Every structure is written in structure tokens, then in C-alpha cells.
A and B are shown apart, each in its own frame.
Chain A
Amino acid sequence: MRVQPKMIVIGGSAGSVPVILEIMKAIPDKFPHTVVIVIHRQRNVSSEMATVLSIANERKPIVEPDDKEPIKTGCIYLAPQNYHLLIEDDHTFSLDYSEAIKYSRPSIDVSFESVARVFGENACAILLSGANSDGTEGLHSIIENKGTAIVQDPTSAAYPAMPMAAIAANKSSLVFKPIEIAKFVADLQQ
């Protein structure tokens, strides 16, 4: 049976880069799902994050999508600095330069909610380490739309505030250690 392509959206802040690298490493060559990574990044600073993440998995280049760029299955995308990243119904990316949400742009909540809306049960949100409460409401949307919600185990997070807030508000989310998250993502192929 063909695997239903999923939209995996990863949200992270402080302490999340190493975890994302671990997940990147676990992504197999033939990966039938799309990955979108949303990290709180500084604005007006040139960043090499896409390159950094690409290093972890050189076979899968990481793209910072332009506005209205069509989503390609099997690709890995990184939310650009200083924009919220949203998904349109026709599966193109939409950027948004509106107010920062919870002081963050890109906001994890915004992307999660948008993914939940468009992909419903095929959405899989992964929330990682961070020192704020971004992602909590987004995860709620994911769950409401029957998607899969995964939160990094706070004990394994360098900054547990963000996963803790998310777990407190979303009891039905799965709590995984980084290695389990990586395995989960890799296993999605089957």
C-alpha cells in the first residue's frame, strides 16, 4: 500500500538545533513526506541555518521557500527569517510579514495552525526545546484536526519550558526523546 504523504512540521527554539540535526540525519533518501522546519531565528542577520541543517543530511538539501513556492513532496523546507510561514489550500507556501506572535517571527503557532488546517490528519507536528510557550496553541489545532502531535520530552530538552507548556495544555500529545523522534520520523516511510 502506498504511504499517504504526510506534512511533518517541526517547531523549535533555543536548544532545538542539535535535535533537528538528529532528525535530519534520520531522514532516509526516499522519503515520501514533506518536512517544514520552523525555528526562532534572529532577523536582519545573515543566517546559514539552511546550510547548517543541510550538512546533517547532504542528500536532502534544505530550501528556504520563496513566497508562493509550490510544496514538493519529499523536500525539506526551512521557514525564512522574519516571516511567518503559512500553507495555502493549493499546497503552496505563503509568507506573512505581520506582527510577531509571542515575540517570534516565524511563529511556530502560526505554521502549526496553518498546517493543521490544510493537512488535517496527515499533519504531524513536532515541538522541540525552547524557552517560551510558542507552539502550544498550534499543537492544539493539530490535535483538533486529528493530526499527530509530538513533543520533545522536557527532561531531554536543553530548554524545557516550551515542551512543558505544550504538554500541559495538550494531554494527548506524544512525548518522545530526540532519538525516539528521529526513529518515528524515519519509520514514517513504511
Chain B
Amino acid sequence: MAKQIPDITNDELEDILCSIFDTYGYDFSAYARASMHRRVVKYMEDINCSTARDLKYQIINSTEVFNYFLQRITVNVTEMFRDPDFYKAMKEQVLPMLASYPIIKIWHAGCSTGEEVFSMCILLHEANLLERTRIYATDINPLNLEKAKHAIIPLDVMKEYTINYFKMGGTNDFANYYTAKYDNAIISLDLRKNILFSQHNLVTDEVFNEFQLICCRNVMIYFNHQLQNRVIKLFHESLSSFGYLALGVKESLLFSEMRPKFEVINRNQKIFRRSI
């Protein structure tokens, strides 16, 4: 273990995040520290940067370095029909209720490269709701949004998604939802036509519409408690009465002060509904 592992103190990290805010306007100060620290150290390891000062210097002085940093520091892992039980619950408990809205607006906050948005589209399509649904898919990272707009997914992971789809209780031919070309699959345009991809930063940005469903899965785990509260408040304000909020299966409203303003629809799959 002779490898020199770079380390960075809390103060140094704070300082770097501060400088990033000053220079680029991205505010990471309220991100959960444990994960942020890990990712920054990992990044330093990969670019062979051993001190915090070097890192700061590089980031502040090059937009390209910063863009790469942003790409690495934000988590862009996603998959289609992740947590099949969640989609099952969506299908059984939420979509029937959404059907009573003439126009359905859904916000996917932190959509990353869009896989979960496409999953939702498939669900809506199968419930015959897609035509009257408008999905606003937002992410902090413009690169992710570019990818999401192209909707190109490698074929080998598509196999895994197919398995997830069936686990979720899908009964159609999953292959109908995409066109395979070479090693990639493109999600069919019909499914995607009502999606609007746009940049939105949950840390700083505000309410922009009223929604019947907000999906924000595994995004807030990267935020600290205060920021989580802010975001949930933002969601609350963005939800219509009886609007649904879906979080990651391990994200709880229990620790949020907004807890009383939601009722629980599915405790295990973390689906809530605005009650007040």
C-alpha cells in the first residue's frame, strides 16, 4: 500500500466549494459531506493531484477542468426501472389517481441521463396516460441532459433493464420501446415526445410549475439536512393539492420538518402525497 492517497480536510473542502460558488455559481456547500469528500478525493486520485491547493488552482483557472470536476462530483448513475417494486407501486397506486387529471404534469428532479424518465414514460404509456402527460426532467448537469435528449443506451445494459421491466410486472414486449442499432438502443421517440429536458439546480433554483407528481429519486441523499428541507419545501410548493412525491426507497421524510404536510401512500417505496 505504498500508494500515496491524497487527503483533504473539511476546511480545505469548504474553501474549494466556496471558490467554485464564487467562480461558477454552483453551490455545493450544502451537499452531504461524507459522499462529497469521498468523490473529491477520488477525483484527486484520478487526476494525480495531491494537495487541495493544486486542486483549487486547477478548478478555478480552467472551465474545462471544472466541467470535468462537475461531471465527476455529481453522481450520474441511474438505470431503468431501478427498484422494480417502486414502479409496481407507481403503477398500482399512483397512476390510477393521476388518471383523474385532464393534464398530468410530472417533474423528474435530478433525472441524470434520463433512464428513470423513460421508465416512467413506458409506465404512462401502458396506462394510456402518456398522451396527456408532460414531463419536466431537470438536472444540475447540462452534459447529462444532452445525453438524456439523445436517449441512447448501450444494448448490454438494456438486457438488465428488460429483466427489471418484467420484475416490475411489465407484460409487453420491452423491445418495442426501443430501436437497436449496432451496440446501442434508442428509446423510441413516441415515448419521449412529451419530455422537456431542462437545467435546474435544486440548491438555488425555484418553483417553476405545478405538478401532480414529482419524482426525485436518490438525489437528496447527496444533500445535507438543511438542503433536504429546502428541497422538500420546494417540492411541496410545486405540488398541486393531492400531488404525489416519490423519493428513493431509502429516502425518508421522517427526518424532515415537512413530514406533517405529506401523507404516506407507500411506506416501503417512499411514495407520499401532499395532504395540506
Contacts and interface: CB of A to CB of B under 8 A. Distances in A.
Given A44-B84, A44-B167, A97-B221, A66 B250 contact: yes
A68 interface: yes
Contact-size category for B: 20 to 34
Interface stretch (B31-39, B175-183, B258-266): B31-39
Nearest to A67: B221
Contact of A86 (B35, B220, B254): B35
A22 interface: no
B5 to A, nearest CB: 8
Interface string A81-94: 01110111100101
Nearest to A92: B225
Interface string A128-159: 00000000010010000000000000000000
Contact of A68 (B1, B37, B77, B252): B252
A86 B84 contact: no
A86 B34 contact: yes
Nearest to A144: B5
B99 interface: no
B237 interface: no
A95 interface: yes
A113 B5 CA distance: 12
B35 A44 contact: no
B58 interface: no
A89 B33 contact: yes
Contact of A44 (B164, B221, B222): B164
A40 to B, nearest CB: 17
A67 B220 contact: yes
Interface residues of A, number: 33
A67 B84 contact: no
Contacts of A46: 85
B250 A83 contact: yes
A98 interface: yes
Nearest to B254: A66
Nearest to A140: B1
B75 A97 contact: yes
Contacts of B248: 67, 95, 97
B255 interface: yes
Contact of A96 (B82, B167, B222, B252): B222
Interface in A74-112: 80, 82-84, 86-89, 92, 94-99, 110
B34 A114 contact: yes
B202 to A, nearest CB: 15
A118 B221 CA distance: 18
Contacts of B34: 86-89, 94, 96, 114, 117-118
**Residue of B34, B35, B85, B251 most packed against chain A (CB within 10 A):** B34
B35 A94 contact: yes
B48 to A, nearest CB: 18
A84 B221 CA distance: 11
Contacts of A87: 34
CB-based closest 8 A-B pairs: A66-B252, A86-B34, A97-B218, A98-B75, A67-B221, A96-B35, A95-B221, A94-B34
7 contacts: A67-B248, A68-B252, A82-B83, A83-B218, A88-B34, A97-B221, A137-B1
